[in-house]
């Protein structure tokens, strides 16, 4: 018995020491985060976080938050930064889990699922609704970088947020994950609230709409639920595809948007697909949604990805990110804007925490997994066909011996792109282009590089072909 008591006492001593190390590290990490992300952002999202369970075997630490929404938001925005900070803190933590505290009070009525936010100017409608300042300031129109793939959605969003009544309602924005739909919803709410601060604004996901409607029916409070929704002068619904197949929810949603449209309220709905592509959605809802303005956000092209990274670099501070790294990121992370920004943030966070400068080799090593996930193998054959179509020549000319300028220049462009966009060696590229020597490929690459500096038309051709090939 004495031995067992001694062992327990020893383990208790170890626990106490580990807890002390965790507390000390957390205080240091908190101070660093507050400095790096700003006092306002830190106080809003991270100040109330608490240390939870720690598993010494897996070296995993739980960080606890007041709600699932907060935990998920912090994970998405600062997760990589937190994990890297803990790994560098020397407290024996290799992994961090962000979770809702077990004893946390249930979510407020309008608190939303991950990657969403809420803003309501309640106009006296309800006591539990949050002010419009809860929308993320960084998700403003000023911070939204535009290009040809998102210009229509951006312009329509500005019109919906403007002082004048828009000519269309609802506005339906569709696009893939991480392309900027949620950013525009935040921006619309902030822009609208700026000129109509007392007008009720309500923002929730379609999934949340469904959950609240079901809960209201169970509690026999459907009239209160309907009154709260119909009081909105701006209603923002995210991810409408999630009510597919939910008959009663769709019926209530249809009545809601009909009443709001009839009253002159503004409605913005987002989805991952165009209205006609949504399955198991009531035809009457689709008709209403398509009867306003439908705007798509297509995947960002290379020029837009570069512009987004330039905007982030301008406000990132130290350590500086060289042009070569920006170009590498823009060409390598093509899946969506959110992942592109996440990769950039990861480099900045690691550089700040370790004091290491950011160069191309460092970026390639840190983002190897993300690059592999985004990789799409572009072939020399694809490049040849794209260049032939662009310059309106026969694809066979890429391999012919003809030296006429109308053929030679497109062939040089194709060689240049093959060198830049494929892993093929110079001799391999030469063989594919009709058995030419590698020195011919070198000459072509140098010629096009010089022409890009002096000839805007050639540079525009190269950019257009790169966008096309990168998809």
| Residue 10 included in any domain | no
Higher-confidence position of 102 and 111: 102
Find the mean pLDDT for residues 178-193.
Answer: 91
- Which percentage of the chain shows pLDDT scores above 90? 22
Q: Is 447 annotated as a binding residue?
A: no
Same domain, 142 and 264: yes
Same domain, 228 and 154: yes
Q: What is the model's pLDDT at position 157?
A: 95
Measured CA to CA, the distance from residue 445 to residue 462 in angstroms comes to 12
Q: Is 419 annotated as a binding residue?
A: no
| CATH number where 245 lies | 3.40.50.300
Same domain, 168 and 285: yes
Same domain, 286 and 154: yes
Same domain, 340 and 216: no
Find the mean pLDDT for residues 137-161.
Answer: 91
For residues 421-446, one letter each, b for 16 or more C-beta atoms within 10 angstroms of the residue's C-beta and e for the rest, the string is bbebebeebbbbbeebeeebbeebbe
Same domain, 272 and 401: no
For residue range 199-220, what is the model confidence (pLDDT) as tens digits?
888 888 888 888 888 888 888 8
Last residue of a domain, one of 339, 374, 409: 374
Q: Are 417 and 466 in contact (CB under 8 A)?
A: yes
Same domain, 328 and 259: no
pLDDT reading at 73 higher than 80 = no
CB atoms within 10 A of CB 107: 16
Q: Does 449 sit behind a cis peptide bond, omega within 30 degrees of 0 on the bond before it? A: no
CA 202 to chain centre: 22
Higher-confidence position of 40 and 75: 75
| Residue 12 included in any domain | no
Same domain, 306 and 235: no
Total of domains in the chain = 4
Q: Does 170 sit behind a cis peptide bond, omega within 30 degrees of 0 on the bond before it? A: yes
Measured CA to CA, the distance from residue 389 to residue 408 in angstroms comes to 14
Measured CA to CA, the distance from residue 373 to residue 371 in angstroms comes to 5
Higher-confidence position of 309 and 114: 309
Could you tell me the two tokens for 388? 């032939």
Q: Is 178 annotated as a binding residue?
A: yes
Residues 6+ positions from 437 with CB-CB distance below 8 Å: 430
Q: Are 120 and 110 in contact (CB under 8 A)?
A: yes
For residue range 351-406, what is the model confidence (pLDDT) as tens digits?
888 888 888 888 888 888 777 766 667 788 889 999 999 998 988 889 888 888 88
> Between the CA of residue 271 and those of 138, 159, 171, 238, 377, what are the distances in Å?
22, 19, 11, 7, 29
CA 250 to chain centre: 28
Q: Order of strands, edge to edge, in the sheet holding 234-238? A: 201-205, 234-238, 266-271, 171-175, 293-297
Q: What is the model's pLDDT at position 134?
A: 56
Q: What is the model's pLDDT at position 59?
A: 86
pTM (2 d.p.) = 0.55
Domain residue limits at 449: 380-470
Q: What is the model's pLDDT at position 125?
A: 33
């Amino acid at each position: 018995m004495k031995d067992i008591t001694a062992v327990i006492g020893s383990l208790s001593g170890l626990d106490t020491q580990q807890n002390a190390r965790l507390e000390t590290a957390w205080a240091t990490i908190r101070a660093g985060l507050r400095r790096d992300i700003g006092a306002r952002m830190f106080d809003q999202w991270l100040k109330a976080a608490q240390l939870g369970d720690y598993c010494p075997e897996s070296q995993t630490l739980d960080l606890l938050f007041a709600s699932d929404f907060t935990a998920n938001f912090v994970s998405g925005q600062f997760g990589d930064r937190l994990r890297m900070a803990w790994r560098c803190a020397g407290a024996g933590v290799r992994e961090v889990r962000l979770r809702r505290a077990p004893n946390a009070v249930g979510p407020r009525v309008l608190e939303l699922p991950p990657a969403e936010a809420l803003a309501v100017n309640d106009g006296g409608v309800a006591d539990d609704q949050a002010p419009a300042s809860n929308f993320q300031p960084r998700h403003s129109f000023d911070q939204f970088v535009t290009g040809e793939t998102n210009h229509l959605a951006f312009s329509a969003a500005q019109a919906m947020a403007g002082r004048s009544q828009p000519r269309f309602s609802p506005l339906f924005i569709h696009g893939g994950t991480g392309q900027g739909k949620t950013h525009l919803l935040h921006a619309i709410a902030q822009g609208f609230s700026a000129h109509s601060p007392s007008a009720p604004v309500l923002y929730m996901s379609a999934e949340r709409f469904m959950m609240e409607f079901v809960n209201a029916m169970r509690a026999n409070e459907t009239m209160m639920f309907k009154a709260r929704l119909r009081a909105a002068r701006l209603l923002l619904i995210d991810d409408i595809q999630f009510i597919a197949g939910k008959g009663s929810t769709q019926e209530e949603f249809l009545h809601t948007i009909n009443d709001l449209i009839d009253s002159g309220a503004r409605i913005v709905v987002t989805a991952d697909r165009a209205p006609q592509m949504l399955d198991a959605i009531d035809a009457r809802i689709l008709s209403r949604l398509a009867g306003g303005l439908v705007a798509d956000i297509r995947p960002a092209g290379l020029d837009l990805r570069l512009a987004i990274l330039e905007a982030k670099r301008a406000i990132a501070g130290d350590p500086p990110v060289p042009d070569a790294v920006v170009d590498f990121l823009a060409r390598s992370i093509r899946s969506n804007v959110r992942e592109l920004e996440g990769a950039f943030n990861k480099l900045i966070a690691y550089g700040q925490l370790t004091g290491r400068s950011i160069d191309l080799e460092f970026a390639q090593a840190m983002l190897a997994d993300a690059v592999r996930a985004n990789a799409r193998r572009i072939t020399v054959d694809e490049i040849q066909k794209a260049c032939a179509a662009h310059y309106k020549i026969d694809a066979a000319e890429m391999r012919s011996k003809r030296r006429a300028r109308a053929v030679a220049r497109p062939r040089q462009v194709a060689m240049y792109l093959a060198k830049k966009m494929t892993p093929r060696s110079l001799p391999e590229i030469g063989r594919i282009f009709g058995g030419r020597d590698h020195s011919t490929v070198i000459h072509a690459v140098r010629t096009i590089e010089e022409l890009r500096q002096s000839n805007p038309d050639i540079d525009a051709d190269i950019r257009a072909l790169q966008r096309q090939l990168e998809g």
